[in-house]
Amino acid sequence: MQVTTLEPGNPRQHEEIAQRASAVLRGGGLVVFPTETVYGVAASALSDEGVDRLRKLKQADDSRAFTVHIPAPQDIERFAELSGGAARRLAMKAMPGPITLLVEVSPKVIQRCLAGLGLGKEHENRIYHDGIVGLRCPDHPLAAAVLSSGGAAVIASSANLPGERPPVVAQQAAEAVKGHVELVVDGGHCRYAKPSTIVKITGEGTGETGGPGEAEGFSGGGQSWSVQREGVFDERYIRKLTRYTLLMVCTGNTCRSPMAEGIARQMVAEHLGVAPDGLDEAGVVVRSAGAYASAGVPATAEAVRAVAATGIDISGHRSTALTRELVDSADVIYCMTAGHRLAVLELAPSALDKTHLVDTDADINDPIGAGDDVYQATAEAIRQGLARRLKELPL
């Protein structure tokens, strides 16, 4: 058994470790590697010998599927489909990180994924068990190096014998699996030193559009989640990660952004198949604020009338001033003008990638002081802009 210890200040070592791990995994061997939670032991799912040896080490029968460990979140698509909504939001926000997703996968998708890996139906239980795949994307550079080197599919479990505590330092792992593995990668003490949180995603992801909102171009939904085991993250934090917040920004938060908030709430609710007042339970929050707003001012009468014709009621709206807290809590921010976008970025430069104009081609000008016809034209411009923008979101 070879033990490779990370050397501080040696940037080439990750590549060297990856090459060693690749040779071991592709040759049917086992590799112990660090993650941010505990040390794991990996095998290539494409290797008969590697899978058999991992099962022997963990005293698992032939029906057991091990968790697939992926180097990057986008690799989820090689093993499962997240159809949108909370499941996709959770994967986007929590991976890489200390979370394991148990995803329900349809037989059709399983067949396609196995074929893509070059595996037959007889190999299904290496990755899937009763239509479920476990997916983990560790937040550790050495784990990413090992997993990237391992080929199309790397399966892993904690690097301990059954009944023993998962190791959090390499020496513990080496002693626990001595005689069973070829390579131990020492990445120091695991950051969290506790297991990942396990979240089950139910409802088959199809990757097809359909249902409410199809005309607007949204992706289909239908998956839900539940915490199976709390680890680094508790259920309250998982719920926070699954929420998606849209923030509309204008100047005074009495005309354009209140109309945008109402329009966006209606569009998203129609897509999710819920009433606008059911968005919070569905995990979506739509807010608005003004870059130079005074708090507590109602929407203008013209703005209220402009959206009332389409069944949107913003009569209870009261203005809110834009704050750093609102910017930080938003997943996406839509501004009426380039000036509003600049105001957001002055508060939080880190919000650059999530802050956009409602209309990609032009500013939506302030209708304040104009008549109903101008307000109605402004509302329609906002609606058209949001119809394009909301196609981009993981709702």
Q: Which candidate, 255, 291, 289, 272, places its Cα nearest to that of 376?
A: 255
From the list 20, 89, 136, 256, the catalytic residue is 256
CA angle 32, 226, 93 (to 5 degrees): 65
Contact 211, 221 (CB under 8 A): yes
DSSP tag of 266: H
Q: How far is CA 356 from CA 104, 250, 335, in A?
A: 34, 12, 6
d(CA 230, CA 222): 24
Q: Which two tokens stand for residue 222?
A: 């239908």
| Catalytic residue from among 139, 331, 363, 366 | 366
DSSP bridge pairs for 101: 135, 199
Residue 162 burial (CB < 10 Å; 0-12/13-18/19+)?
Answer: exposed
The amino acid present at 250, given as its one-letter code, is C
Residue whose entry in the numeric block shows the structure tokens 């088959």: 204
Catalytic residue among 250, 265, 359, 383: 250
CB 51 within 8 A of CB 182: no
Active-site residue flag, 256: yes
- Other CB atoms closer than 10 Å to residue 154's CB: what's the count? 28
Is 113 in the active site?
Answer: no
Rounded Cα distance between 158 and 193, Å, is 12
Cα distances (angstroms) measured from residue 322 to each of 73, 176, 365: 32, 55, 19
Which positions are catalytic?
A: 250, 256, 366
